[in-house]
Amino acid sequence: MPDMPDHPSFVSRKQVTEVYLKAIRLIDDRVTPLLGKATTRVLVQGAAKRLISQYPYLDFLAKMAYADIDPSAIQEQLPDVSPQELAAGLNALLDECFHGLRELTGNIIAPPLHEEVTRHIQQQQQP
């Protein structure tokens, strides 16, 4: 199973947030028809809650529905977090989401979607 890119070369927090929010929306698009909207929302928020001790700045994802997050607001809300740190936290979040998906449905959804999301992020990172 592919891993998420280790050292993303993002230039701004806004860019990082945009890329990963798109990745989350991709997960949403694929999972919602199979498990429903509420499950996808809880999957992401639950993953963010479990990671807060390690990445405290993921707090905004635990409290707010990802559909309501404005990437440019993240730029202002997390002034002390570098783009690389933010990318690491969001990477961990996606890993946790896929771990959750595997717990729920085994290998039915997670492996192909994981590949698709990794590909998507890599494409976004390319200049």
Partner 1 sequence: MTDNAYHASYGQSDHLKLEKVRQEMEYINTIGKRFVAAIDRFHVHRALLFALQDLYSFSACCILLFDETPQLFIIPCQPLSASFIQEMVQRIVSAAQVVDFPPLDIQHLIATAYMDAPDEVAQYRTQEAMECTEVGSVLNIPLTVENRIIGLLCLFDELVGTFDSEMLRLTTMIADYAAVALDNVRLRERENALWRRAELERQRLELILRSMAEGLLITDEKGMVISLNQSAWQLFNLAQVDIARNQSFYLADIAEERPWLLHLSQMIEWALNGQTITNQELTVGDKDETVPLTLNVSVAPLHDASQNTPRPTGVVAVLNDVTSNKQVERLKDEFVSVVSHELRTPLTAIKGYTQHLIRRIERRLQKARAAHNTQPASMEGQESPESYDLHNLRIIQSQTDHLERLVNDLLDLSQVQSGQLTLHCDTFNLAELLANCVHSAQASSEQHTILLDIQTPESAVVADRERIAQVIGNMLDNAIKYSPHGGQVTVNLERTEEGYRVTIKDEGIGITPEQLDHIFERFYRVRNTTSRQYAGVGLGLYVSKAIIDSHGGTIGVFNNSPIGATFYFTLPFKPVSKPLQLSESL
C-alpha–C-alpha distance, residues 10 and 59, integer Å:
21
Choose between 11 and 38: whose C-beta lies nearer to partner 1.
38
Q: Is there binding between residue 64 and partner 1 (CB under 8 A)?
A: no
Non-local (6+) Cβ contacts of 22 within 8 A are 120, 124
Q: Is there binding between residue 124 and partner 1 (CB under 8 A)?
A: no
For residues 19 to 48, the per-residue mask of contacts with partner 1, x marking binding by CB under 8 A and - elsewhere, is --------------xxxxxxx-xxx-xx--
Among 54, 72, 82, 105, binds partner 1 (CB under 8 A): 105
C-alpha–C-alpha distance, residues 15 and 26, integer Å:
17
Q: Is there binding between residue 53 and partner 1 (CB under 8 A)?
A: no
Token pair belonging to 38: 């509420």
Q: At what angle do helices 83-105 and 13-35 cross, to 10 degrees?
A: 10
Token pair belonging to 86: 């933010």
Q: Is there binding between residue 93 and partner 1 (CB under 8 A)?
A: no
> What does the binding site for partner 1 look like in residue numbers (CB under 8 A)?
33-39, 41-43, 45-46, 49-50, 99-100, 103-106, 108-109
